[in-house]
DNA sequence: TTGTACGCGTTATCAT
DNA sequence: ATGATAACGCGTACAA
């Protein structure tokens, strides 16, 4: 057999366009045009198709990418594949398939070095676009990508300021509504487990909490505000601290899913019931919350919509490159899913104000 | 500025190795050697580093890949980013970073066309390796990859037969132990919600159930065996059917997480309690199961170990290509996590046998 | 050690 | 519509 050869790397060499052209008795230009859907004379087309079949020819997208400066590859980087990020990735992946691209996926460790590693990979592999959770500590490599015209899209997080597109949700307003719900049913001692206050998202969610309370004339009690940095473990210990307060809260607002899990775990181990002993509302809606006992009232982020929006921004950026519009920031709405994790409280004040 | 140029695509052109060589006053061969860590004369090295800095040069991994026939890119394809696959992907992603690779991620729709699309992408983009959930319906493209020496690694599923490496878990034995636990505490009317019986994994998990029952001399009651095809929705309706049986089961074995969620949802809507009204054991251990009321007894798959094993198989395949060893099948152990979802049943038989 | 020059597989341009 | 040929950016023999 002379159709295939072995390379020193132990991999069988792929047939090339040149071999196809030879066997079909046409020029490589003709084959290239055939491959790219341009018109080709009927007889030639048949010859080419036959040659391709016989040789098992497969287009080398790497070579094409080098020529076209387009890899059809999109960088995707998140801190973890949590219950929030995993569905986003799944939706994105399906959307990308529709436009003939795929995602180069990286999980960073939230430390600068790992982020730098990932970005180096993306830059050197010439991704067409970069999608990532917004960071505050901006790596120079992100600026580099922006500088050479690669669209960068943040989602979920990240301060305004950097010239990138952003797909965010109405964190502050949704938090406000969630906490207001607790106020409406009579709670005033409401604690919060916040994400990194330094993050835009963490700050906004806290701010919604703050405004809701202040709006009802309730002062913020520092003992009720615990920065658990988005982590389950810190929420777990934070919850313990809340319970040991002389006047523990009657309700709890968790700024993400992980922290709700931490809090629930501790409550469970201490034999405390939601909502009998404490009411609970959380950001992020996950299967767990539908099934947990009475169900957990939660803020549902529009995951599918987030992925769609990212995809369409990418498409428009990629179609008219060069014309660089100002960056967009798109803010999507959240739904509050009411379940059974909150209990109406009849407070002395409430009775008095009737 | 003449340092940078604009391409017609609207993207700024990257500096090349040639420009670096020019500016550094050395030959491109020298720059290339410098980049790849080969020895270079001190003075030259400094010149090169300076030039790289000034030009903002970044190695073009695409061009390198074309030359080396190595993309440092690994295909990853799964049906969804479920609570099982997402953590596997996360672990894999981190492991890949350590070896300078990244995953091209695809979610297929379990239909042949979408799988073919993904495989086409992988083949044309010349991934160094392919990692996927094992399929029974083998696409010709998988054979093509194998044929040209690209390692293919199945996990989670897939019939033996195809010459690929496999990383599986002891589905049958773990199922056997899980069901045996139910038997030990007095249950004999045990129903099962199975995954696709046609899948290897689905078949094995069912087989473990079957053998456990037969081992105790209990015949398989067809009414108690429902093929829910891994889906939550089908488990939901299947559960309904079980409850309407003249003699409903006292215990339920769910062959994956999704189906457990479906069953739990229906039970909840019907006001039935686990384990008071029915005992439950499930495959897959997820946060939900830790927190659900009394906790759900579950079979925990060794997710991190799965990812590690895949990575090391990949490494060895890639290091000595050419020498094609016979394919490995590695079977990992599962743990059974006992929680509160099963209730000891005092049956007449049990009393009699004392 | 360094420089030169060719090849990797495509696409695109220019005549024909 | 087709054929010949020049890029694309890098790695690497080979000669110096």
Length of chain A: 354
pLDDT of residue A231: 95
Exposure class string for A189-211: b at 16+ Cβ within 10 A, else e: bbbbbbbbeebbbbbbbbbbbbb
A279-307 mean pLDDT: 94
Interface residues, strand D, Cβ cutoff 7 Å = A 25-30, 33, 39-41, 43-44, 63, 66-67; B 13-14, 16-18, 28-29, 32-33, 35-36, 57, 59-60, 63-64, 66-68
Structure tokens at B228: 């829910």
Q: Which nucleotide shows the minimum CA-to-C1' distance to residue B21?
A: C3
pLDDT of residue A5: 47
- Which residues fall within 8 angstroms of residue A260, CB to CB, at 6 or more apart? A193, A235, A254, A280, A282, A284, A289, A296, A298
CB A250 within 8 A of CB A256: no
**Residues of A in Cβ contact (< 8 Å) with B323:** 10
CATH class of A73-169+303-332: alpha beta
A51 upstream amide cis, omega within 30 of 0: no
Question: Distance between CA A180 and CA A209 in Å, rounded?
Answer: 8
Q: Which nucleotide shows the minimum CA-to-C1' distance to residue A40?
A: D1
CB B74 within 8 A of CB B129: yes
pLDDT of residue A158: 84
CB A70 within 8 A of CB A100: no
DSSP track, B78-145: ES---TTHHHHHHHHHHHHHHTT-EEEEEE--SSHHHHHHHHHHHHHTT-SEEEEE--SS--HHHHHH
* Substitution target from A84, A288, A317 for chain B, most B beta carbons within 10 A: A288
Phi and psi torsions of B204, nearest 5°: -65, -40
Mean pLDDT of chain A: 92
Question: Distance between CA A224 and CA A202 in Å, rounded?
Answer: 16
C-alpha distances in Å from residue A271, one per residue of A276, B24, B207, B239: 11, 71, 39, 30
Contacts 24+ apart (CB under 8 A), B269-273: B270/B243, B272/B243
Task: Return the ∠ at Cα A213 (arms to A211 and A218), rounded to 5°.
Answer: 130
Structure tokens at A351: 């009775």
* Substitution target from B72, B235, B288, B340 for chain A, most A beta carbons within 10 A: B288
Phi and psi torsions of A132, nearest 5°: -155, 165
pLDDT of residue B12: 79
- Which residues fall within 8 angstroms of residue B173, CB to CB, at 6 or more apart? B208
Q: Please check the confidence at residue A202 and state whether its pLDDT lies above 50.
A: yes
Question: Which position has the token pair 């993904």?
Answer: B118
Domain ranges for chain B, please list them: 17-59, 73-169+303-332, 171-301+337-345
Query: What sections of chain B are H helices per DSSP?
Result: 17-24, 28-35, 42-55, 61-68, 85-98, 112-124, 140-147, 171-184, 200-215, 232-243, 257-269, 287-291, 303-319, 348-352
C-alpha distances in Å from residue B104, one per residue of A73, A102, A103, A119, A148: 8, 6, 5, 15, 23
**Residues of A in Cβ contact (< 8 Å) with B107:** 90, 93-94, 97
CB B103 within 8 A of CB B92: yes
Question: Distance between CA A36 and CA A30 in Å, rounded?
Answer: 10
* Protein residue closest via CA to C1' of C11: A67
A282 against A293, higher pLDDT? A282
pLDDT of residue A124: 96
Closest to B71 (Cα-Cα) out of B101, B41, B51: B101
Q: In the structure, how far is the CA atom of residue B3 from the C1' atom of nucleotide C1, in angstroms? A: 29
Subunit contact B144:A56, Cβ cutoff 8 A: yes
Subunit contact B148:A14, Cβ cutoff 8 A: yes
Question: Distance between CA A212 and CA A177 in Å, rounded?
Answer: 8
pLDDT of residue A162: 86
CB B155 within 8 A of CB B310: yes
CB A207 within 8 A of CB A192: no
pLDDT band, very low/low/confident/very high, at A323 (cuts 50, 70, 90): low
Shortest CA gap A149–chain B (Å): 5
Least confident of A5-14, A62-71, B170-179, B227-236: A5-14
CA dihedral B9, B15, B16, B22 (to 10 degrees): 140
> To which H or E segment does residue B170 belong?
none
**Residues of B in Cβ contact (< 8 Å) with A114:** 97
* Protein residue closest via CA to C1' of C13: A29
Nucleotides of C under 7 A from a protein CB: 1-5, 7-14
Q: Evaluate whether the domain defined by A171-301+337-345 bears CATH number 3.40.50.2300.
A: yes
Shortest CA gap A219–chain B (Å): 33
A107 closest CB neighbour out of B76, B94, B261: B94
Nucleotides of D under 7 A from a protein CB: 1-5, 7-13
Closest B-chain CA to A151: B11
Q: In the structure, how far is the CA atom of residue B144 from the C1' atom of nucleotide C6, in angstroms? A: 31
- Which residues fall within 8 angstroms of residue A345, CB to CB, at 6 or more apart? A185, A186, A187, A250, A251, A279
Q: In the structure, how far is the CA atom of residue B123 from the C1' atom of nucleotide C1, in angstroms? A: 40
Question: Distance between CA A326 and CA B148 in Å, rounded?
Answer: 47
Q: Please check the confidence at residue A8 and state whether its pLDDT lies above 70.
A: no
Subunit contact B321:A265, Cβ cutoff 8 A: no
Q: In what order do the strands lie in the sheet with A152-155?
A: A329-332, A165-169, A152-155, A129-133, A73-78, A102-107, B102-107, B73-78, B129-133, B152-155, B165-169, B329-332
Question: Distance between CA B124 and CA B148 in Å, rounded?
Answer: 13
For chain B, residues with pLDDT lower than 70 are 1-10, 321-323, 347-354
Q: pLDDT tens, A110-153?
A: 889 999 999 999 999 999 999 999 988 888 999 999 988 999 99
**3-class secondary structure, B247:** coil
Question: Distance between CA B207 and CA B215 in Å, rounded?
Answer: 12
Closest to A281 (Cα-Cα) out of A205, A198, A351, A228: A205
Subunit contact B288:A288, Cβ cutoff 8 A: yes
Structure tokens at A206: 């806290």
Closest A-chain CA to B123: A58
Question: Distance between CA A128 and CA B124 in Å, rounded?
Answer: 17
Structure tokens at B111: 């239909």
Shortest CA gap B153–chain A (Å): 17
Q: pLDDT tens, A131-143?
A: 999 988 888 999 9
Subunit contact B261:A291, Cβ cutoff 8 A: yes
Q: pLDDT tens, A227-278?
A: 999 999 999 999 999 999 999 999 999 999 999 999 999 999 999 999 999 9
Q: pLDDT tens, A337-354?
A: 999 999 998 765 545 444
* Architecture of domain A17-59 in this structure: Orthogonal Bundle (1.10)
Q: Please check the confidence at residue A333 and state whether its pLDDT lies above 70.
A: yes
Subunit contact A97:B118, Cβ cutoff 8 A: yes
CB B132 within 8 A of CB B78: yes
Structure tokens at A201: 């998202």
Least confident of A28-32, A222-226, B122-126: A28-32
Structure tokens at A345: 């409280």
B9 closest CB neighbour out of A62, A69, A265: A69
Least confident of A4-8, A44-48, B31-35: A4-8
Shortest CA gap A349–chain B (Å): 33
Structure tokens at B298: 């579950």
Structure tokens at A235: 């929420």
Subunit contact B265:A291, Cβ cutoff 8 A: yes
pLDDT of residue A4: 42
Question: Distance between CA B173 and CA B191 in Å, rounded?
Answer: 18
User: Identical fold at A17-59 and A171-301+337-345?
Assistant: no
Shortest CA gap B352–chain A (Å): 37
**Residues of B in Cβ contact (< 8 Å) with A268:** 291
Q: In the structure, how far is the CA atom of residue B29 from the C1' atom of nucleotide C9, in angstroms? A: 22
Shortest CA gap A310–chain B (Å): 17
């Amino acid at each position: 057999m002379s159709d295939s050869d072995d390379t020193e790397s132990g991999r069988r060499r792929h047939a090339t366009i040149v071999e196809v052209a030879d066997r079909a008795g046409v020029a490589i230009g003709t084959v290239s045009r055939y491959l790219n859907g341009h018109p080709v004379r009927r007889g030639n087309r048949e010859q080419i198709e036959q040659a391709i079949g016989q040789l098992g020819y497969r287009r080398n997208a790497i070579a094409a990418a080098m020529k076209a400066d387009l890899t059809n590859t999109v960088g995707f980087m998140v801190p973890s594949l949590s219950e929030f990020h995993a569905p986003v990735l799944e939706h994105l992946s399906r959307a990308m398939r529709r436009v003939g691209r795929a995602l180069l996926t990286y999980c960073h460790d939230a430390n600068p070095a790992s982020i730098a590693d990932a970005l180096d990979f993306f830059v050197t592999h010439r991704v067409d676009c970069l999608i990532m959770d917004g960071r505050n500590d901006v790596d120079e490599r992100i600026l580099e990508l922006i500088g050479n015209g690669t669209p960068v899209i943040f989602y979920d997080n990240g301060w305004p300021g950097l010239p990138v597109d952003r797909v965010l949700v109405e964190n502050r307003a949704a938090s406000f509504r969630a906490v207001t719900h607790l106020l409406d049913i009579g709670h005033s001692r409401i604690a919060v487990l916040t994400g990194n206050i330094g993050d835009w998202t963490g700050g906004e969610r806290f701010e919604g909490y703050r405004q809701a309370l202040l709006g009802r004339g309730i002062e913020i009690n520092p003992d009720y505000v615990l920065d658990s940095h988005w982590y389950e473990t810190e929420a777990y210990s934070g919850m313990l601290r809340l319970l040991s307060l002389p006047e523990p809260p009657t309700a709890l607002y968790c700024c993400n899913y992980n922290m709700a899990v931490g809090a629930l775990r501790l409550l469970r181990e201490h034999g405390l019931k939601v909502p009998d002993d404490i009411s609970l509302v959380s950001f992020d809606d996950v299967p767990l919350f539908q099934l947990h006992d009475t169900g957990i009232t939660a803020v549902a982020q529009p995951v599918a919509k987030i992925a769609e929006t990212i995809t369409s921004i990418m498409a428009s950026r990629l179609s008219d490159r060069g014309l660089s519009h100002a960056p967009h920031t798109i803010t999507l709405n959240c739904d509050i899913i009411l379940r059974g994790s909150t209990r109406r409280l009849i407070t002395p004040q409430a009775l008095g104000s009737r």
